[in-house]
Amino acid sequence: GCVALGPQSVVLRGYALPMVDALLAGVDAVTARAPFRHMETPGGYTMSVALTNCGTLGWTSDARGYRYTRQDPLSGQPWPAMPEAFVQLARAAAADAGFPGFAPDACLVNRYEPGSRLSLHQDRNERDYGAPIVSVSLGMPAVFLFGGDARADKASRTPLFHGDVVVWGGADRLRYHGVMPMKDLPHPRLGSLRINFTIRKAG
Ligand code: MD5
Ligand code: FE
């Protein structure tokens, strides 16, 4: 099924299910070189979501702010290459959602444990808001919060399940969004974890 979440965002239920083995192998290859870590926010908090990156550019948060970097600050090395399975899935999903020619250069990989949450935010560190963002959910289900263009706008709640892919583009690209605190609903394959990765054009 393909469900509109907003005017230019769409949930592709189970779209990634045929590729789960290749996607998890990709996550393992990335985290072997760039492990998950809990980053600090500019406001002095530690994120409850652990993250890493692959691709030419990776998203980083620390006391100085949010930005994309070419090197992993933990190792000083370039971020691991984006697995080919990530690129192929993202290009196909973007094209199906009406964004042909997607050329991603960055992928932020988030790891959620029970209790982890992502408070309402916008993704504004990318150069070109005309490019979509493709999100892939694996493991435990999450309740996704989809707000408006202002932080105070009421947010709708949408469950995201193992294998779901979401494409965000156009007018929906800068909407506030977040993830409710995770319940412990262990997944047969991933246990008490949720992995979400977002494939982006950041540069
Ligand atoms: C997640 N990750 O479930 C979400 C899925 C992040 C993040 O929010 O920044 O890592 S991506 C949801 C998203 C991305 C870009 C735009 C919009 C939503 N949106 O306009 O609602 O870990
Ligand atoms: Fe986000």
Tens digits of residue pLDDT in 98-154:
999 999 999 999 999 999 999 999 999 999 999 999 999 999 999 999 999 999 999
pLDDT at residue number 158: 96
pLDDT at residue number 195: 99
pLDDT at residue number 171: 87
For residue 196 and ligand 1, the question of a CB distance below 6 A is answered with: yes
For residue 52 and ligand 1, the question of a CB distance below 6 A is answered with: no
Q: What ligand 1 atom has the least distance to the C-alpha of 144?
A: 3
Q: How many helices (H) and strands (E) does the chain have?
A: 2, 13
pLDDT at residue number 120: 97
Residue 116 in tokens: 């982890």
CATH fit for domain 2-200, picks 2.60.120.200, 2.60.120.590, 3.30.300.20, 2.60.40.420? 2.60.120.590
pLDDT at residue number 1: 73
Bridge pairing between strands 50-55 and 177-179 = unpaired
pTM: 0.97
Residue 27 φ then ψ, to 5° = -60, -45
Q: Map tokens 């995770």 to a residue.
A: 182
For residue 110 and ligand 1, the question of a CB distance below 6 A is answered with: yes
Identify which ligand lies nearest to the alpha carbon of 146.
Answer: 1
* Ligand 1, pocket-test mutation among 12, 54, 59, 123, most atoms within 8 A of CB: 123
CA distances, 132 to each of 39, 41, 123 (Å)? 25, 25, 11
d(CA 174, CA 129): 8
pLDDT at residue number 6: 85
Are 178 and 116 in contact, with CB atoms under 8 Å apart? no
Residue 137 in tokens: 């959910």
Beta bridge partners of 27: none
Residue ranges of the chain with per-residue pLDDT less than 70: none
pLDDT at residue number 2: 83
